[in-house]
Structure 1
Amino acid sequence: MRRLHPGRDYRKAQNIEELRAIAQRRLPNFSFEYIEGGSEDETTLQRNRSVFKDIALCPHTLRDVGQRDLQTQWFGARSALPFMIGPTGFNGLITDQGDLHLARAAAQAGIPFVLSNASTTAIEDISQVEGLRVWMQIYLYRTRDHVAKLIDRLKALELEAIVVTTDSAIFGNREWDRRNYAKPMKLDWRNQIDVMRHPRWIWDVLIPNGVPRFKNLGDLLPPGRDSVKGAASALASELDPTLSWKDIAWIRDLWPGKLIVKGITQPEDVAMALQYGVDAIVLSNHGGRQLDSSISAVEALPAAAALAKGKMGLFVDGGFRRGSDIIKALLLGADGVLLGRACLYGLAAGGKQGAQHAIDILRTETDRTLGLLGCRSLADLHPGLIHESTWRFIHKPS
């Protein structure tokens, strides 16, 4: 009978799904659920994965693909691979210094790392990782003075880019995550028992420094409430449903570096990003954790590419588990892919080395897919490699 690798050794994982299974065994339920879950019926979460199954490829043959190159350029600088590690919060609940492990894995792979605003490692520490190309995600909280001070920190560090996440002005309805708690940030008795059944996680995460603390929220949080546990209600109250394009204009005035807006799916919003001087956008539905029944970012790609290609950078995230998924996004017009859960599974399964293993798996799969399509480099990719049947569910731009 077929089955995934049943053990705990991340090195034996053949693909991202096997890393996911190892991560689930190693983490307490509440921590794994935070990584895994989506909003409401998780229709968007499922759509993010199922969309790739409907994209059929039509490869060339008899092409010399003995030498292949996965390098690309973003903002005029080289990336060794057409994907990067995107922003994910609360990584200190996966493993001690989780953000730092991800950053070092990215540096070793020669790809950028986007640090989450809700990270448990300070941006100053991440920026010290040798050879790392680091970007920073920010939320536009109600306390705009905090945002302005954070941007000043980032300017002092001479960061290349900031990524403004715009699709969380109202918090998504994450029912499965809430079911783990008796009240906000207090685990119910079943999950408390489950935590005790994971002594390795306790020794890794809780024993060295106690409950992880947010290191980039500083003056936004009340004194003594900067821990992952204590900050939950304060952060929820800082979400701002009045967020608008005027706030993007405000940030554009403050920030001299590259400005990336994340959370777009509508073509009209792509046009607005161009109008407001944005350098790149990330098509995203927040990993299925916000609006349920949203389209996948991949479905939004053709229309966005028709508007943005050659005018600003076009990135995408959501549901990427295979190298072929990454190639499909590039064929539909993306300049690159941001990875979330795929790298977190590796991090949970084996720390820094596990994250590196996840990157290596996707590098190998992307390279293999490129060659099997009859292409030697990313520049050889073209929409004709997607079979016409695919356009029945994705509107082909004229």
Structure 2
Amino acid sequence: MRSCLRTQIKQQQQRLLKGVQHSTTRRYLNTTTTKSSHSSSSQYSSKFLASSLAIAGLTVAASLTVLNTQGSIKNDSTITITTSDENSAFQKLISPEELSKHNKVEDCWIAIDGKVYDVTSFLETHPGGVARIIKYAGTDATKAFRKQHNLELIMRQLTPNDYIGDIPELKPAVKTRKPKHHHRSRVIVVDEDEDDEEEFSPEELEEFARQERIANKPPLNAIFNISDFETVAKAVLPSSTWGYYSTGSNDEFSLRENHYAFGRIFFRPKILVDTTACTTKAVILGQEVDAPFYITAFAGSSMADPNAELNLLKPAARENIVHLVPTQCSYPVQEFVKHAEPQQTNFYQLHFYKRSEIDNIADVFQKVESEMPTMKGYFINVDLATIGNREKDAKFRSLDPSMLDELSKIVTNSQDYAPVTWEDFKEIRKKTKLPIVLKGVQRKEDVVKAAEIGLNGCLLSNHGGRQLDFSMPPIEVLAQSKKLLKEKNLDKGFELFIDGGVRRGSDIIKAICLGASGVGLGRPFLYAMSGYGEEGVERAIKILKTEMLRDMKLLGVNSISELNEDMVDISSLQFKGLNSDDRLYNVNYSEMPKVPFSTPAK
């Protein structure tokens, strides 16, 4: 049986390699300027190529560098990459003993393909990637780099100063492995010349199965709704990445309620109305768009696809919807927005790590407004006093026993942000003429305060259920807030937005009826990108537009301006026990992993 399994796996590896050689070589080499027809010095992105080839589980000889690289593909499919300082007579050599000393969160080195990198800064600035990297601290991470596509993010963020030196060949011949399900440890002899000695851990078998699912995923034209994208993403993403994307905080009541609340709102359609001129065009903060929904800001796009937020920016431009650009963008924001179309509408999401950032906000505004013309306003986070307890994410990542000690430090030491107050926002309002929207408002009284001090709007959000569990669903806060603003005569010129739980065009329409100017979606576009890249994001936008147009016609309206509270029945909205049995949503929901027990050694 083992022999048969090994044969099947190697056949799969060969199939994957053949496909990757064809598609990846064409993708990353054909986009460059070719100086000659054979092994000339064609420029290309070696880190993507090595990572993609290595997904097949095959040994690839590659030297990666964060400096400019040149290389060629030989007939034996071996990648050879040289750095611009290859002829230097003084290459610093790092001993395995020295490497092993740097194995902590605050001092983390890893080796990849014979080169040692200091990745400490990455760990400090991107909590979503910590656990995926820290287990390789002070060791050779080459195999993990080849197997885990999301490690590409590290290579992109490193600088030449993070390159420490070269390391002699390590000896990975015999090692003890603890499978993530806590079965007894096994000693595995890795001998590439003797197939009979090769064994596969549960993690490796799951990775082979995942690659098989990627190879056999449904074609894009088989995707009919947003939940279909989620189904595919759950199947093709590594479990740790899926856990990071899908998690809420604590017991995830808010995560689920964000969506279920839409199921407690019902339509009151008009009849005998001519809807042949129906359109989804709208105006958001003075900007004309083709639909009143937008791609909201989120971190971690590069774990879904190497092109990260570029997969969002370009379809948003083509479909003329708003893209809210995150502070934690995978690219430097100034460089990222250079890829935007001149007529495109972006808003900039900000939050404050340090007090000095609040005090110097005028400098930020000046830089944005002078160098980033597509940025038409600011959405500033106000729900980040600290990071929520994203327990499911931590459990998914801690299933590997070797990560438990380091993860316990990371999970318990929550990230605090600079305290910001109403008095601060009174001053911030004076520093720019562009619209300012508070992002993360969760009660109607705070909405009124924001309007009273001259801000332009509030994004009603509980951070996708990732911050304070049992925060109210944004759609419910919206209904309360719009009513209170009208009572106080503050609703004119003050715009409300929501995000969280949106999966259908009908959800967007319900929010517009209750007074929202725009509706944000985050995870749905991450899931579309995870399975299908830029094309997936564009299809997701088209699906939502089509659903909106169809439902508006069935509702008996021709324009966004005709949608109002008279078109919906919200009498059941506040009764949270009345959850609809939403099968499409529930089938994709991941339960909290249970605490694993060890299996006694036999």
CA gap 1:170/1:29 in 2 versus in 1, 3 angstroms: same
| Residues 312-345 of structure 1, C-alpha deviations (whole Å, 9 max, x = no match) | 1111111000000000001111111011111111
Aligned-partner Cα distance in 2 for 1:391–1:134: 32
Question: For 2:500 and 2:415, how far apart are their aligned partners in 1?
Answer: 26
1:33 Cα shift? 1.5
Checking the alignment, whether the CA contact within 8 Å between 1:84 and 1:339 is kept in structure 2 is yes
Whole-angstrom CA distance in 2 between matches of 1:388 and 1:346: 31
The equivalent residue for 1:16 is: 226
Question: Judging changes above 3 Å, is the alpha-carbon distance between structure 1 residues 97 and 79 closer, same or farther for their aligned structure 2 residues?
Answer: same
Shift of 1:190: 9.2
For 1:119 and 1:54, the matched residues in 2 are separated by 35
Pairing partner for 2:481 from 275, 287, 304? 304
1:154 maps to: 368
User: Which whole-Å deviations, capped at 9, do the CAs of 1:122-176 have from their partners, x for residues lacking one?
Assistant: 2223322113211110112224248635434313224311110111111100001
Instruction: Quote the residue 1:251 is aligned against.
Output: 428
Check whether the contact 1:280–1:313 (CA below 8 A) recurs between aligned residues: yes
Kept in 2, the 8 Å contact 1:8–1:25? The answer is no
Partner of 2:445: 268
Deviation, 1:295, is 0.6
User: TM-score scaled to structure 2, two decimals?
Assistant: 0.54
Contact 1:114 1:135 in 2 (8 A): yes
Q: Which residue of 1 aligns with 2:330?
A: 120
**1:28 pairs with 2:238:** yes
For residues 469 and 441 of structure 2, what CA distance do their matches in structure 1 show? 15
* 1:266-314 deviation digits (Å, cap 9, x = unpaired): 1110111012221111011110000101110000112211315323111
Amino acid at match of 2:369: K
Matched, 1:350 2:528: no
Which residue in 2 is equivalent to 1:79?
289
Alignment of 1:33-72 (within 5 A): 33-72=243-282
Q: What is the CA deviation profile of residues 87-124 of structure 1, one whole-angstrom value per residue up to 9, with x for unaligned ones?
A: 11121111112111101111111011111111112222
Work out whether residues 112 and 133 of structure 1, in 8 Å CA contact, stay in contact via their aligned partners in 2: yes
Matched, 1:171 2:387: yes
Q: Which amino acid aligns with 1:239?
A: Y
> Contact 2:237 / 2:304 at 8 angstroms: preserved in 1?
yes
C-alpha separation in 2, matches of 1:278 and 1:291: 24
Identity value in percent = 30
2:203 aligns to what?
none
Most deviating of 300-309 and 368-377: 300-309
Q: Counterpart in 1 of 2:353?
A: 141
C-alpha distance in 2 between matches for 1:38 and 1:391? 22
Q: Determine the structure 2 residue equivalent to 1:239.
A: 417
Count of aligned pairs between the two proteins? 344
Pairing 1:323–2:537 present: no
Output the CA distance in 1 between the equivalents of 2:366 and 2:232: 40
Equivalent position amino acid for 1:267 in 2: K
Instruction: Specify the SS of the correspondent of 1:65.
Output: coil
Relative to structure 1, is the Cα distance of residues 388 and 47 closer, same or farther in structure 2, using a 3 angstrom cutoff?
A: closer
- SS of the residue 2:267 aligns to: coil
Mapped contact 2:476–2:573 kept (Cα < 8 A): no
Q: Name 2:33's counterpart in structure 1.
A: none
Residue 392 of structure 1, CA deviation: 5.8
Counterparts of 1:181 and 1:254, CA distance in 2: 42
Structure 1 spans left out of the alignment, 5+ residues = 1-5, 192-228
Q: Secondary structure, in 3 states, of the residue corresponding to 1:171?
A: coil
Q: Aligned-pair RMSD on alpha carbons?
A: 2.4
Q: Report if the CA contact (8 A) 2:264-2:570 is conserved.
A: no
Given residue 136 of structure 1, which amino acid in structure 2 is its aligned partner? Y
Question: Equivalent of 1:181, from 393, 397, 404?
Answer: 397
Q: Distance in 1 between matches of 2:537 and 2:520?
A: 14
What CA distance in whole angstroms lies between the structure 1 residues aligned with 2:329 and 2:368?
15
Which range moved further: 117-126 or 63-72? 117-126
Distance 1:96 1:28 in 2: 15
Deviation track 1:210-261 (CA, whole Å, cap 9, x = no partner) reads xxxxxxxxxxxxxxxxxxx9xx89x964513x32112222322333311111
Higher relative contact order (CA 8 A, sep 6+): 1
Single out whichever of 351-360 and 123-132 deviates more from structure 2.
Answer: 123-132
Secondary structure class of the residue paired with 2:347: strand
Structure 2 residue 463 is matched with structure 1 residue 290:
no
Task: Give 2:521's aligned amino acid.
Answer: L
Which letter does structure 1 place at the counterpart of 2:376?
E
- What SS class does the counterpart of residue 326 from structure 1 fall into? helix
CA distance change for structure 1 residues 8 and 251 in 2, over 3 Å: closer, same or farther? farther
Question: Which one of 363, 367, 377 corresponds to residue 559 of structure 2?
Answer: 377
Show structure 2 runs of 5+ residues with no match.
1-215, 577-602
8 Å CA contact retained: 1:87, 1:137: yes
| Local SS of the residue matching 2:467 | coil
Equivalent pair of 2:347/2:377 in contact (CA under 8 Å): yes
- How many Å separate the matches in 2 of 1:312 and 1:382? 16
* Partner Cα separation in structure 2 for residue 137 and residue 353 of structure 1: 24
Question: SS where residue 266 of structure 2 aligns?
Answer: coil
Task: Specify the alignment match of 2:312 in structure 1.
Answer: 102
Q: Larger C-alpha radius of gyration, 1 or 2?
A: 2
Q: Residue 425 of structure 2: SS of its match in structure 1?
A: helix
**Structure 2: distance between partners of 1:321 and 1:328:** 12
Aligned to 1:279: 456
Question: Structure 1: how far apart are the matches of 2:307 and 2:446?
Answer: 36
